[in-house]
Amino acid sequence: MDSLTFRRLLDEPAQLNRRLRDWGLTAPEIGAEHWRELAEQVPLELLASLAGQLGEHLPQAHDPDRAFAGLMRFLASALSPLAMLSLFERDGACLPMLCQIFGTSDAWTELLLRDPEAFDYLRLTEGMPTPREELQAEVDRETALLTDERILMAALKRRCEREQLRIGYGELFRHVRIEMAMQQLTELAEVIVSAALRFAWQRGTDGANKKLPRLAVIGLGRFGGRELDYRLPLKLLFVVQNVTSQEMRRGNPLEVVERVARQTIRVLQAPEEGHSIYPVLFPIHPTADAETLVHPLDDLLYYCDAKGRTWERSILLTARPIAGDLELGREFLAQLQPWLFRRYLYRADETGMRAFKRRILREAAAAPHDLELGPGGIRQIEQSIRFLQLLSGGELEIVRRGGTRAGIAGLEQAGVMTVEERSVLEQGYEHLRRWEHRSQLLGTALEPGNELRERQQQQAQTLERVLASAFDGEVHTHPVAELVLDPLPTAESISTALRPFGFQDVHTAAAELRSLAVERIPFLSTRRSRHFLAEIAPTLLQSIAATPDPDYTLARLARVSESLGGKGVLWELFRQHPPSQELYVRLCGASLYLTELLTSNPGMIDDLLDSLLLNHLPTVEELEALAGDLLQGVQAQSMQSALAAFRQSQHLRIGVREMLGLEDVAATHRALAAVAEVCVRRVAAEEYAKLAERHGEPGTANGDHCEIVILALGKVGGNEPNYHSPLELAFIYESDGMTQLPLRSRSATSTTNAHFFSLLAQRVLKTLTELGPQGKLYEVHTPIRPQGKTGPVAIAREHLRQYLLDGPISMSERQLLVKSRAIFGVATARAAVQNLIVESLLARPWKPAYAEEVRQARRQMEESASGRNLKRAPGGTTDVEAVIHVLQWQHAEAPDMIGVGTLTAIDRLRERGWLSPEDADHWSGAYRFLRRVESALRLMNFPSRHELPSSSVDWRKLAMILQHPESQDLAEQVRGTMNENRERFEKFFAAG
């Protein structure tokens, strides 16, 4: 177009608008305004030349409006629009190139506006591939001497944008093949990462490279497979050379290398002018600390072998050293090969592979029309090829190739797929990746044509056929098992799997469930644990769903299992022995006391299992033998800890059998009393021996040995304590006198019997009540103190006689004496003390006047108790005990009536006709029932141990422990029993 013609167009707006509309502009008025503005700045000859070229090239642009607007902005921002128009006139290739760029991508337009030199670079290269060596040299020249981080980031970002413009332009307009474009993008990223690492190393180490371990940067996913695109983040893994303990002692070099890695990532992804150079992801996390970037080679290899999952194998399948010490990276990958490609699949490996296959199919089915995620789409092709490589790579080395296209070729060459299948997948993948790249470059998802849709359908059919041939006879997998195996479950799959089991917070429950698969002990295999957990997960959650609060039960089960360690062994046991699983779930769902024993003593899992195998509760003789074995060789200062472990293991054993309903409450109480007796006897014997070595053996006035008796009172005396009952003890020695020094003893010093036995009592009490690593052995009271609370704990038998026969003994002390029983001392001394107690009761026989005293004491107890108190509220266990204690007192002269518990006393009173069968049945049944409820409350570890629950959830937990079908019926039964107890109590004492 000549200048006169162009002038006439400017003078005739209608003609100009028509011409601009012919060029493809939809708003010619705006275009005309731009022309008039330019006409005021540059000669008409140049504008006429520009108009002539635009008339030819603008209609060919992807978006003429966008191309024209971008060109006008470009000219307006140029330092010399005149020089730019002169360039267009001299070089006819410039304007078509700009029309293509501005008409294609707003991002490219913005790039040229802020970096006009990018256009010069594009003119120079014309979008053709650049050798890696030239690119590396250019980046090194620009960045090698830079020391300022922001300047470096700006330089790398500028270089990255120019090169991506070159690659994208070549792919769109110079027909560069898709595989070459992916390779060029990959090489660009490698060069940028290498430059960032070099800068970080120089800054973080002050050039002290030789003193630090080698560091390799591994590319994963598409980066490692040389198939990078324009958008996805770089997936990286930092591997560092193993560091010896001697090197660690000289200063932790890993901290320096970690700083280098962090600096590298900051350069790559810290925003520069609003955008990072590359976003970065770390899909492999070998340590619990997700913030740690650098991992020693041996740690990575161990993690992969012990805990690595199938999806992590698929990611590492494409791993490739891309920066840093490449030799170290190759060494890591060489040692990784046996884990990646397994010649023989163990059951856990096969489970993981099957889950990986199901995940591929499930994810594709969730997006049926999506070219990237749907059936036959990009992601399904990539994942399916990696799946087939993992499956066959153990035997067929030729398939061990990084990248999807290389993997397809290797699988065909190995005979895993046919030539036709290779052709379909290879060509389909290329077409899809070309579509993906064009969408990324244009900034919008392109509508696929019919041809691409047909290809996708053909690819989906091919993949379905190829995957179906792997693992013939695939069985249906329960959604819960799938959830365990799926590394990245969707919110929908979590809800679908867990909602049927009654969880309120399904996402927390999913996290707890997945944590059950992870082994924290270094030498145990998480892969094996996950396999067995997946097998039992459906039945495990069914059991959990049957508990009153499934969320609580699962959380508790996760905590207990974490403390035990060896989860895989536990899950395998549950698979082989379902009753143990049921028991474990019931413990976690209701018994806080027993599960806390397990968490504080992980070795007790053996005791838990023993309780399922043994068919009886331990006898006193068995407990004595067990305690003897446990204390064999234990230092004196460790006795408290050893006995605490003994007590806790036996409580676990007893509690488990109670929860299983295998024992009567009386048998449970006898076993708990026996455990307490053994602990007291062991401590007393040990402390007695040490005192005798220091002071000699206590003697009487006539030269005989002075005996000591430990008397158990209250619940323990009556063989009916619960899990938290305190010990009520009395220390009674035979008579006053002096200790007799052993022959040839130079260090021993004689003392009085009173002093000797006071020391013994104090030491026994100290050991029983001191706070050790596992808490107290027992809480201990000494209620029989003739000289008051400040008087001596150890009492001479004669002083006790005077107190019991003539002293101010209270009603509560008399009731304690009814159930008193000697648990330590020689037989003759024990019998003498028991006879003394019977004598004291007979010396002060029951009087009707005492009835009001008992009732008044009960009223005082009731005032300090709530109506939910199972012990002290009206009709509680104390009502039953008060009635039976009085009857025992009234018949103290009868053999075996003193020193026995409530239930035994009821049986003997019935046998001798002192209690009617109807009353005996009621008191026995009521007491057994309430003590069972009390015992269950103790297993629940209620803070107020005698308080009945106030919430419906706790009532359901209580019912589960008692194996009662309905919690509401249980509550009504408790209330009914207590009401009848109180009626009979009042009737009994009203009669005097």
How far is CA 635 from each of CA 631, 638, 973, rounded to the nearest angstrom?
Answer: 8, 5, 50
Sign of CA dihedral 120, 126, 127, 129: negative
| Element spanning 227, H or E | none
Residue 957 near residue 853 (C-beta atoms within 8 A):
no
Residue 59 near residue 101 (C-beta atoms within 8 A):
no
Predicted local distance difference test score (pLDDT) of residue 52: 85
Write down the residue that tokens 């070795």 correspond to: 603
Whether the predicted pLDDT of 493 surpasses 70: yes
d(CA 520, CA 74): 60
d(CA 920, CA 410): 86
Tokens of 819: 């159930």
Residue 447 near residue 439 (C-beta atoms within 8 A):
no
- Mean pLDDT score, 825-854: 91
Tokens of 779: 């809480």
pLDDT-derived band at 274, boundaries 50, 70, 90: low
Name the residue with higher pLDDT: 670 or 518. Answer: 670
How far is CA 903 from each of CA 869, 909, 973, 986, rounded to the nearest angstrom?
Answer: 21, 10, 20, 20
- Mean pLDDT score, 343-360: 75
- Mean pLDDT score, 288-301: 86
d(CA 430, CA 453): 14
Predicted local distance difference test score (pLDDT) of residue 78: 87
Instruction: Name the nearest CA neighbour of 287 among 254, 264, 260, 248.
Output: 254
SS3 content of the chain, % helix, strand, coil (to 5): 65, 5, 30
738 phi and psi angles, rounded to 5 deg: -125, 155
- 806-815, pLDDT tens digit by residue? 888 888 888 8
When mean pLDDT is compared over 410-419, 784-793, 807-816, 824-833, the highest value belongs to 824-833
Least confident of 158-167, 362-371, 398-407, 669-678: 362-371
32 phi and psi angles, rounded to 5 deg: -60, -40
d(CA 963, CA 973): 14
Tokens of 414: 């190995």
Instruction: Name the nearest CA neighbour of 663 among 650, 672, 676, 654.
Output: 654
Predicted local distance difference test score (pLDDT) of residue 611: 65
Strands 708-713 and 821-824: antiparallel
DSSP, collapsed to helix, strand or coil, labels residue 274 as coil
pLDDT-derived band at 89, boundaries 50, 70, 90: confident
Tokens of 433: 């990746």
For 17, counting Cβ atoms within 10 Å of its Cβ (0-12 exposed, 13-18 middle, 19+ buried), the class is middle
Instruction: Name the nearest CA neighbour of 224 among 138, 323, 290.
Output: 323
- Mean pLDDT score, 658-677: 92
Whether the predicted pLDDT of 565 surpasses 80: no
Predicted local distance difference test score (pLDDT) of residue 933: 95
CA 296 to chain centroid, in Å, comes to: 24
775 phi and psi angles, rounded to 5 deg: 90, -170
- The string of DSSP codes covering 123-155 is HHHTT----HHHHHHHHHHHHTT---HHHHHHH
Share of the chain above pLDDT 70, in %: 94
Predicted local distance difference test score (pLDDT) of residue 273: 65
- The string of DSSP codes covering 510-537 is HHHHHHTT---STTS-HHHHHHHHHHHH
- 47-67, pLDDT tens digit by residue? 888 888 888 899 988 889 999
Predicted local distance difference test score (pLDDT) of residue 472: 59
Residue 869 near residue 876 (C-beta atoms within 8 A):
yes
Residue 759 near residue 820 (C-beta atoms within 8 A):
no
Whether the predicted pLDDT of 378 surpasses 90: yes
- 213-269, pLDDT tens digit by residue? 899 999 999 999 999 999 889 999 999 998 876 666 666 788 889 999 999 999 999
216 phi and psi angles, rounded to 5 deg: -120, 140
**DSSP count for the chain of H helices, then E strands:** 46, 12
Residue 215 near residue 328 (C-beta atoms within 8 A):
yes
Predicted local distance difference test score (pLDDT) of residue 980: 96
- The string of DSSP codes covering 362-389 is HHHHTSTT-TTTSTTSHHHHHHHHHHHH
pLDDT-derived band at 975, boundaries 50, 70, 90: very high
Residue 415 near residue 426 (C-beta atoms within 8 A):
no
Instruction: Give the DSSP letter of residue 722.
Output: -
773 phi and psi angles, rounded to 5 deg: -60, -30
Non-local CB neighbours of 922 within 8 Å, separated by 6+ positions: 980, 984
Write down the residue that tokens 């234990």 correspond to: 634
pTM exceeding the 0.85 threshold for the entire prediction? no
DSSP, collapsed to helix, strand or coil, labels residue 738 as strand
Strands 739-740 and 821-824: unpaired
Residue 768 near residue 778 (C-beta atoms within 8 A):
yes
Q: Looking at this protein, which amino acid is placed at residue 783?
A: P
699 phi and psi angles, rounded to 5 deg: -130, 160
Share of the chain above pLDDT 90, in %: 56
Whether the predicted pLDDT of 746 surpasses 90: no
Whether the predicted pLDDT of 636 surpasses 70: no
Write down the residue that tokens 């022959």 correspond to: 743
End-to-end CA gap in the chain: 131
Mean pLDDT for the chain overall = 89
Whether the predicted pLDDT of 207 surpasses 70: no
Predicted local distance difference test score (pLDDT) of residue 631: 81
d(CA 811, CA 71): 107
Write down the residue that tokens 């599960």 correspond to: 595
Non-local CB neighbours of 462 within 8 Å, separated by 6+ positions: 376, 421, 424, 425
Name the residue with higher pLDDT: 944 or 779. Answer: 779
Predicted local distance difference test score (pLDDT) of residue 288: 67
| Element spanning 252, H or E | none
- The string of DSSP codes covering 922-974 is HHHHHHHHHHHHHHHHHHHT-SSTTBPPSSHHHHHHHHHHHT-S-HHHHHHHH
How far is CA 120 from each of CA 49, 59, 281, rounded to the nearest angstrom?
Answer: 21, 24, 34
Tokens of 35: 């022309």
